[in-house]
Structure 1
Amino acid sequence: MKLLLQLQSLRSSWSSRLFYRLFHKDDVARTLLNLSKFEAINRCEQEVPEYFNFASDVLDKWTQLEKDGERPSTPAFWWINGMGSEVKWSFEELGFLSKKVANILSGPCGLQRVDRVVLILPRIPEWWLVNVACMRTGIVFLTGTTQLTAKDILYRLQASKAKGIITTDSLAPVVDSVASHCQSLKTKVILSEGRRDGWLNFKELFEAAPADHNCVKTKSQEPMTVFFTSGTTGSPKMAEHSHCSFGLGFAICGRDWLDLTPSDVMWNISDTGWVKAAIGCIFAPWLRGTCTFIHGMPQFEPKAILNTLSEYPVTTMCCAPTAYRMLVQHDLTSYKFKSLRHCLTGGEPLNPEVMFQWKNQTGLDIYEGYGQTEVGIISTNQKGMKIKPGSMGQPTPPYNVQIIDEHCDILPAGKEGNIAIKINSKRPFCFFLRYLDNPEKTAATQRGNFYITGDRGLMDEDGYLWFVGRSDDVIISSGYRIGPFEVESALIEHPAVVESAVVSSPDPIRGEVVKAFVVLSPSFVSHDPEKLTLELQQHVKKLTAPYKYPRKMEFVQQLPKTVTGKIRRNELRKKEWGRD
């Protein structure tokens, strides 16, 4: 880390007039990077090229623009740790450093093209270097959160048949405890100041590695990365993506939803083990030449977030709804966000009340997007669109999204059904390639001419999508279908509720009823639980159809969540139905 902190670059400055001419007139940068072509591919107006590699076809082109004086002086990567340490890299430096790491992977590590390597690192600069280095070498990378247990790591190593793992000294003992059960694992790399038996030391390798490296010529449909799904029901599946699906697939997303330019500084607050980190910290911003900003805090700290937004020129922020729910518990009016202009969210639905609170205190809208690990971003709210609080926005290219019934018939506006993506003669290029070693699951995602997302929703007359719940989350009580999200959104409008999760609970008369698990605001913890339950039930009845109110309620200190922040309703549902 010390070596990385000492690296500096010579940075040029550009006048605002030159910046406007270059980047708002769509000339030099768009021509050199083929951004117009990338966007045309996203709209299915052009074919995907036979060969594509994000490192050589995007990142190295931005390096050339920097050398030619045709990119603003904002860094490509900007990392802080909140304790005074800081790293800033230009695209040229990113290229130089990632080439050294590429030589480590293909040299001392002995990894070859299409080999798989598991990467479990916190928010430190080396995570980005290894990601890019894997692209340069054609090595397939699989990221994981540092919160993984020994059982989790064992599952990932065995299921992926990974030949290498890169992690920190804190997780190395955990890896060693399961490594003997992983026959494919040949190489272990540790980020540590000291040495460990059986491990290669990243720092020593980095200092000795040469910086000359020729990027491999990868085919567009060649595997690039594998993401483990969130696993809200059962073990995580392994969604394999190609070089073009992520490398090209976020050209329009970065332009229209994220609204990024090369002068922006984007902070995507995501764990490195989540697909959202790849989308919002690598592919979408760097396709647009935008600076990726990172705070290396080990866990989410609302005050640290708010202070950082006040102190640094972050223009664009994306974080999970859970994070916004925590942030609005603070007095936002006491902070001044001088540069922040665009706020985004995704990963799970955002409650309208949270959106209202954020808007009232900051003056900024939150633009929600909806997507999946397997297919990327499906629909978004974009600048210039009317925001309908609670809606996931409108479908984004190249996807034709429809609401269908069990027979694959398209349903009329306002009718609840399965959220599905129309597949024509072939799957969209930004789809995942497959679930590794699981052809049955891969085949099950397609029904007729549709990809089935597994989510329930509806589309209004204006073409906006509205989320109801996962197919297995929907509650059927006395014949009524009840989506948990609507009840949760009603509950959070009450000042006593910080967060809630709604699931089905067995009932001898109705079959199943709505039960709410509620996390209370500190000022309401001492209230009489019976009276508060009645108050919350009446509150929900006023905001939704009366049959949707939670007939059962339990106050809890916290809700079970995946490492990506999604509520694990399946755990609560199993508890209710005695399926532990």
Structure 2
Amino acid sequence: MLSRPVPGAGPGHWCCLAAVPSIDYYMSMEDGKRPAIAAFWWINDKGDEVRWSFEELGFLTRKAANVLSDPCGLQRGDRVIVILPRIPEWWILNVACIRTGIVFIPGTSQLTAKDIFYRLQASKAKCIITNDTLAPAVDSVLPDCQFLKTKLIVSEGSRDGWLNFQELLKVAPADHNCVKTKSQDPMLIYFTSGSTGPPKMAEHSHSSYGIGFTVSGRYWLNLTPSDIFWNTSDTGWAKSACSSVFSPWSSGSCVFIHNMPQFEPTTIANTLSRYPITTFCTAPTAYCMLVQHGVTSYKFMSLRHCVTGGEPLNPEVMEQWKTQTGLDIYEGYGQTETVTICANVKGMKIKPGSMGKASPPYDVQVVDDQGDILPRGEEGNIAIRIKPTRPFCLFSRYLDNPEKTASTEHGNFYITGDRGIMDEEGYFWFVGRSDDIINSSGYRIGPFEVESALIQHPAVAESAVVSSPDPIRGE
């Protein structure tokens, strides 16, 4: 159901529903064959609430696809930058782009005018979609944006020079035929964090994210059509694609969203208590804030599965969460470029501090700088085997940057840029980013290991370790 070939098409042709979460498939099951829960459930702090079934999602995303194709004049392969907070329109537009074959480029709401200009120029995007907050920043750089043709605003009011999404959605026809796409056609472009140089464009295909995150949903997230899944990630990050779009909807689960101005432990705990959320995903830092706040007095009656990723989870935080809630935290590890590389899944023994074992279909190893596999227990580069066959869920390339793409390949492996250790049981242990490793008197020191040791002391609330130049030791 997740990867239906188009009848009569040549080899490698797929309908866009191979990548889009199977909204249309689950829509056909809402006649009693699927649990009577929403497909999308959104709330905010003002008391507003939106609930959509898969049928309503199908209706709205087909209309939105027509908005992009007709008034906006976008075609298959065109690129659109979408900078929106956690509002329902972000989800509609995400799926609408897949229906039309348009390449979706998310951005966080924290981007400045300079950031937006860089992304518009680098991506050659023909359209930008944002709200009232960032529209002035877009207009300020518009004279120098030679590729941008259309501006679409998600707003109750109008703005000169901008098309209004809500107004166009109301009058758009509801009939739309999915554009036929190939599995390797581009679907998403993410700008990486830019920790070493300016942000790079990681291009993903309909296969790598659309199907790759389906695997995560089934195994790491352990989702079923009866689950209500809340992921707190910002819409600009790849984790949102994983846990707020592809993984839950490809499993027939409900996507739950609480649009909060900022992370606040009391609000998080109250939401987990008030709503029947079964699966919860948030960053390790957020779990740290929650256990420091204390959640023993809250009753999470429906919650059964907790996951985390994006940064290493300190074992102390995992232990405190278990003590306060009775629930384990299943850590996963991945990158913008890779989908989920390693994970702790249901039924596995959890080793606190470990990222778990390799996720299917990856062959993950620890290798040296030449790409040779190191013995178990030795520190090296965390790497994914790409030869003789490149995994379908690995990103396609760094767009317009072949040198950077080539630099990540050593021998038969894609080098993640992270350092780690694989133990005798196949569990992976994170040491640090290759460019974060501290070299002191010939010793390679991973900041995370030191941070984990420090945070175990009762007097330490949080810790961060960086190097300091030393004339004798180097660092």
TM-score interval for Structure 1 and Structure 2 normalised by the shorter chain? over 0.9
Distance 1:456 1:52 in 2: 39
Distance 2:63 2:225 in 1: 26
Q: Corresponding residue for 1:453?
A: 416
In the TM superposition, residue 245 of structure 1 has moved relative to its aligned partner by: 1.0
1:137 equivalent to 2:100? Answer: yes
1:246 equivalent to 2:246? Answer: no
1:369 equivalent to 2:338? Answer: no
What letter is aligned with 1:502?
A: V
Cα pair 1:115 1:163 within 8 Å, conserved: yes
In the TM superposition, residue 223 of structure 1 has moved relative to its aligned partner by: 0.6
Q: Corresponding residue for 1:234?
A: 197
Residue among 196, 204, 212 paired with 2:175: 212
Distance 2:257 2:296 in 1: 24
Cα pair 1:123 1:298 within 8 Å, conserved: no
In the TM superposition, residue 429 of structure 1 has moved relative to its aligned partner by: 1.0
1:153 equivalent to 2:116? Answer: yes
Distance 2:411 2:64 in 1: 45
Q: Describe the SS at the equivalent of 1:235.
A: coil
* Residues 41-440 of structure 1: pairs in structure 2 closer than 5 A: 50-54=13-17, 58-67=22-31, 69-440=32-403
Distance 1:74 1:217 in 2: 30
What letter is aligned with 2:24?
A: D
Cα pair 2:381 2:417 within 8 Å, conserved: yes
Cα pair 2:20 2:210 within 8 Å, conserved: no
**CA offset digits 1:311-339 (Å, max 9, x no partner):** 00000000111111111111211111010
In the TM superposition, residue 52 of structure 1 has moved relative to its aligned partner by: 4.1
Q: Percent identity?
A: 71
In the TM superposition, residue 479 of structure 1 has moved relative to its aligned partner by: 1.3
Distance 1:115 1:128 in 2: 19
**CA offset digits 1:96-147 (Å, max 9, x no partner):** 0011111100011111111000000000000000000000111101000101
Cα pair 2:386 2:414 within 8 Å, conserved: yes
**CA offset digits 1:289-323 (Å, max 9, x no partner):** 00000001122111111000000000000011111
**CA offset digits 1:341-384 (Å, max 9, x no partner):** 10000011001111111111111100000001111100000111
Distance 1:327 1:496 in 2: 17
In the TM superposition, residue 508 of structure 1 has moved relative to its aligned partner by: 1.1
What letter is aligned with 1:350?
A: L
- Per mean C-alpha deviation after superposition, the further-off stretch among 209-218 and 115-124 is 209-218
Q: RMSD value over aligned CA atoms?
A: 1.5
Q: Corresponding residue for 2:452?
A: 489
Distance 1:49 1:266 in 2: 32
Distance 1:335 1:426 in 2: 49
Distance 1:438 1:499 in 2: 38
In the TM superposition, residue 476 of structure 1 has moved relative to its aligned partner by: 1.1
Q: Which has the higher contact order (CA 8 A, sep 6+)?
A: 2
- Compared CA separation, residues 154 and 134, structure 1 to 2 (3 A): same
Cα pair 2:365 2:383 within 8 Å, conserved: yes
Distance 1:82 1:49 in 2: 46
Distance 1:95 1:392 in 2: 36
Cα pair 1:56 1:215 within 8 Å, conserved: no
What letter is aligned with 2:158?
A: R
How many equivalent residue pairs? 469
Distance 1:49 1:265 in 2: 34
In the TM superposition, residue 497 of structure 1 has moved relative to its aligned partner by: 2.5
Distance 2:366 2:259 in 1: 40
Cα pair 1:435 1:442 within 8 Å, conserved: yes
Which runs of structure 1 show a deviation greater than 3 angstroms over 4 or more consecutive aligned residues?
A: 54-57
In the TM superposition, residue 232 of structure 1 has moved relative to its aligned partner by: 2.1
Distance 1:57 1:193 in 2: 29
In the TM superposition, residue 56 of structure 1 has moved relative to its aligned partner by: 6.5
1:477 equivalent to 2:443? Answer: no
What letter is aligned with 1:388?
A: K
What letter is aligned with 1:61?
A: Y
Distance 2:15 2:314 in 1: 39
TM norm structure 2:
0.96
Q: Describe the SS at the equivalent of 2:22.
A: helix
**CA offset digits 1:185-236 (Å, max 9, x no partner):** 0100111121111101112111111111111111111111101112222211
Q: Describe the SS at the equivalent of 1:61.
A: helix
Q: Describe the SS at the equivalent of 1:122.
A: coil
Distance 1:367 1:56 in 2: 26
Distance 2:133 2:242 in 1: 27
TM norm structure 1:
0.79
Distance 2:356 2:231 in 1: 20
What letter is aligned with 2:241?
A: A
Cα pair 1:122 1:298 within 8 Å, conserved: no
Of Structure 1 and Structure 2, the greater helix share is in 1
Q: Describe the SS at the equivalent of 1:503.
A: coil
